[in-house]
Amino acid sequence: TTVYVPRDSAALSLGADEVAANLAQEADRPIRIVRNGSHGMLWLEPLVEVVTERGRIGYGPVEPDAVAGLVAAGMLDGAGHELCQGVVAELPWLRDQTRLCFARVGVTDPLSPEDYVAHGGLAGLRRALRLPPADVVAEVTESGLRGRGGAGFPAGIKWKTVAGTPGPLKFVCCNADEGDSGTFADRMLMEGDPFTLIEGMTIAAYAVGATEGYVYIRSEYPDAVRTMREAIAVAREQGWLGENVLGAGHTFDLFVRVGAGAYICGEETAMLESLEGKRGMVRAKPPIPAITGLFGKPTVVNNVLTLASVPAILAGGAAAYQALGVERSRGTQVFQLAGNVARGGIFETAFGMTLHELVHTYGGGTRTGRPVRAVQVGGPLGAYLPATGLDLPMEYEAFAAAGAMLGHGGVVVFDDTVDMASMARFAMEFCAEESCGKCTPCRVGAVRGVEVIDKIVAGQDPDGNLALLGDLCELMTEGSLCAMGGLTPMPVRSALLHFADDFGPKRAGDF
Ligand code: SF4
């Protein structure tokens, strides 16, 4: 009997290792325990799956102490139990998704090359290696893939710039510094299916002529660091990385570098500084990293989800990917539901689903059962949307038109007990804490922002201070060197616009 017990850090934090140990001890027959990634239904973790003739039957959430009782109740035969969720692949949460990036996450053993290939792995890389590099770039451009890290810049255009910049040494850097609140898709992908990221980076390297790659992972992700390092070692042994990738003559090797916990290192140029061993400070652009990147060489910098989308694009063709999504948001995005939500986790779907559907139909509303009051999309620099504004389709331009942003796809839900003035204050405080200090509007503006919000809430000259806050937001938006200072006003302004009553008796006015 084969039993799956996740090794993803979300499951580990809930006792998955003890569950696996107890299963090995309590089983009434020989069992094979496979440590898989998480399917992303975090409210069911640890989710134990038993392979039966009907499919993989899930039990969750399984606490370590519950294992003996579950075995006695016939779990290893797939018997019914109050924790039994039925056939996992048929659960609406999974069935309704379009999983391209996350196709194998939760399904396979993350470190088994056989499992990877058996579930469609390497199909994209094999096809890419048969095409001229320029055709691979063209395929990614035609797919409509845009950077999933937040900026939404077309990946193919970035790759074309790197490919077209001559030089003997080029790099592919993967930004896995996932620091946005409510985001965890990069981590889950790296822990649950690291070979997909390796394959995506190898395709990128072949397309642009790069020979070396780095995955920059935040130090808060020790399990992801370990899994990526092990997966890279396996990939080298398999000949998927190294001097002659899959025997096709291209050289590409990959290394993991661990960040030291600065949010700003998620900004691509600060990440490059950090990779070079320097303090994580933002570089002025131009020059852009595609031309003058890591160690001054042409460099592709993409987020984990961008690069992990590439194998599916090459395997299925640009047209199939392009057929998904709406307007200029093509393909799928891995949305992450977090905060005060009944069912949190990963939901990969084509762009276009409404935020309301995500939060209510799939997320099940708040965990506290109270009404949803606000939803923040796109990390700590994203806008707060009111409960009445959730009909927005999940796509880049619709969000921009609403004064919001999709960012990295993080969705954080708040109930009606949230105080939005303190959330606005938090945005400024976060910026003051995480600012790299290079430019004045951000470094000083964020500190002044905290002070002025405190004065408004304390009722000190609300009209004057609201006007001052408006000016400050404008200055930060227009005058900051990067998105850290430039976007901090977004949550502040949205809180003022939609939740003015929380800021005291005075209305926020029209900024
Ligand atoms: Fe640094 Fe802030 Fe300026 Fe960005 S906006 S460069 S984080 S000081």
C-alpha 200 to ligand 1 mean position (Å):
30
119 in helix, strand or coil? coil
- Nearest ligand 1 atom to the CA of 437 is 8
Q: In 110-209, at which residue ranges do the beta strands (DSSP E only) sit?
A: 171-176
What residues flank ligand 1, with Cβ below 6 Å? 264, 282, 435-439, 442-443, 480-482, 484-485
Q: For residue 505, say if its preceding peptide bond is cis, omega within 30 degrees of 0.
A: no
C-alpha 437 to ligand 1 mean position (Å):
6
Using CA atoms, how far residue 165 sits from 171, 207, 291, in Å, is 12, 12, 6
Token pair for residue 203? Answer: 């395709």
- Rounded CA-CA distance 124/200 in Å is 8
CA atoms within 13 A on the CB side of 124: 34
Overall pTM > 0.90: yes
Instruction: State which of 272, 442, 444, 448 you would mutate to test the pocket of ligand 1, scoring each by most atoms of that ligand within 8 A of its C-beta.
Output: 442
- Rounded CA-CA distance 342/466 in Å is 36
Nearest to 64 by CA among 114, 26, 111: 26
Token pair for residue 236? Answer: 């080298």
pLDDT band at residue 511 using 50, 70 and 90 as cut-offs: very low
- The protein residue with its alpha carbon nearest to ligand 1, atom 5, reads 485
CA pseudo-torsion sign 163, 166, 169, 175: negative
Instruction: State which of 435, 476, 478 you would mutate to test the pocket of ligand 1, scoring each by most atoms of that ligand within 8 A of its C-beta.
Output: 435
Which residues, 6 or more positions from 203, have their beta carbon under 8 angstroms from its beta carbon? 124, 125, 128, 136, 310, 311, 314
Q: Give the residue ranges of DSSP H helices in 239-303.
A: 268-275
Give the DSSP letter string of 43-73.
Answer: GG-S-EEEEETTEEEEE-S--GGGHHHHHHT
C-alpha 170 to ligand 1 mean position (Å):
27
Instruction: State which of 272, 439, 472 you would mutate to test the pocket of ligand 1, scoring each by most atoms of that ligand within 8 A of its C-beta.
Output: 439
Q: Are 194 and 284 in contact (CB under 8 A)?
A: no
Burial class for 140, CB neighbours closer than 10 Å (0-12, 13-18, 19+): buried
Give the DSSP letter string of 339-403.
Answer: ES-SS-EEEEEETT-BHHIIIIIIT-S-SSSSPEEEEEESSTTSPEEEGGGTT-BSSHHHHHHTT
Per-residue pLDDT, 510: 42
- Nearest ligand 1 atom to the CA of 442 is 2
Percent of the chain's residues with pLDDT above 70: 99
C-alpha 495 to ligand 1 mean position (Å):
22
Residue 258 has pLDDT above 70, yes or no: yes
Q: Give the residue ranges of DSSP H helices in 444-502.
A: 445-457, 462-479, 483-487, 489-498
Instruction: State which of 272, 273, 481 you would mutate to test the pocket of ligand 1, scoring each by most atoms of that ligand within 8 A of its C-beta.
Output: 481
pLDDT band at residue 151 using 50, 70 and 90 as cut-offs: confident
pLDDT band at residue 505 using 50, 70 and 90 as cut-offs: low
Per-residue pLDDT, 507: 47
Residue 481 has pLDDT above 90, yes or no: yes
Mean pLDDT of all residues in 38-62: 98
- Rounded CA-CA distance 142/139 in Å is 5
Nearest to 102 by CA among 40, 153, 57, 51: 40
90 in helix, strand or coil? helix
Instruction: State which of 285, 430, 438 you would mutate to test the pocket of ligand 1, scoring each by most atoms of that ligand within 8 A of its C-beta.
Output: 438
- Nearest ligand 1 atom to the CA of 476 is 5
Residue 506 has pLDDT above 90, yes or no: no
Per-residue pLDDT, 269: 97
- The protein residue with its alpha carbon nearest to ligand 1, atom 3, reads 439
Q: Are 1 and 31 in contact (CB under 8 A)?
A: yes
Which residues, 6 or more positions from 26, have their beta carbon under 8 angstroms from its beta carbon? 67, 68, 71
C-alpha 435 to ligand 1 mean position (Å):
5
- Nearest ligand 1 atom to the CA of 431 is 2
- Rounded CA-CA distance 3/300 in Å is 40
Per-residue pLDDT, 261: 87
C-alpha 479 to ligand 1 mean position (Å):
10
C-alpha 445 to ligand 1 mean position (Å):
11
pLDDT digits (tens, 9 = 90+) for 61-80: 999 999 999 999 999 999 99
Residue 508 has pLDDT above 80, yes or no: no
Residue 509 has pLDDT above 70, yes or no: no
- The protein residue with its alpha carbon nearest to ligand 1, atom 1, reads 436
- The protein residue with its alpha carbon nearest to ligand 1, atom 4, reads 482
Instruction: State which of 177, 264, 381, 428 you would mutate to test the pocket of ligand 1, scoring each by most atoms of that ligand within 8 A of its C-beta.
Output: 264
Percent of the chain's residues with pLDDT above 90: 97
- Nearest ligand 1 atom to the CA of 436 is 1
- Nearest ligand 1 atom to the CA of 486 is 5
C-alpha 408 to ligand 1 mean position (Å):
19
Number of H helices, E strands in the chain: 22, 16
Per-residue pLDDT, 408: 93
Which helix (DSSP H) or strand (DSSP E) does residue 3 occupy? strand 2-4
- Rounded CA-CA distance 202/5 in Å is 30
When computed from its CA atoms, the radius of gyration of the chain, rounded to whole angstroms, is: 23
- Nearest ligand 1 atom to the CA of 440 is 8
pLDDT digits (tens, 9 = 90+) for 298-356: 999 999 999 999 999 999 999 999 999 999 999 999 999 999 999 999 999 999 999 99
Q: Are 473 and 489 in contact (CB under 8 A)?
A: yes
ipTM value greater than 0.95: yes
C-alpha 374 to ligand 1 mean position (Å):
27
C-alpha 306 to ligand 1 mean position (Å):
24
- Nearest ligand 1 atom to the CA of 434 is 7
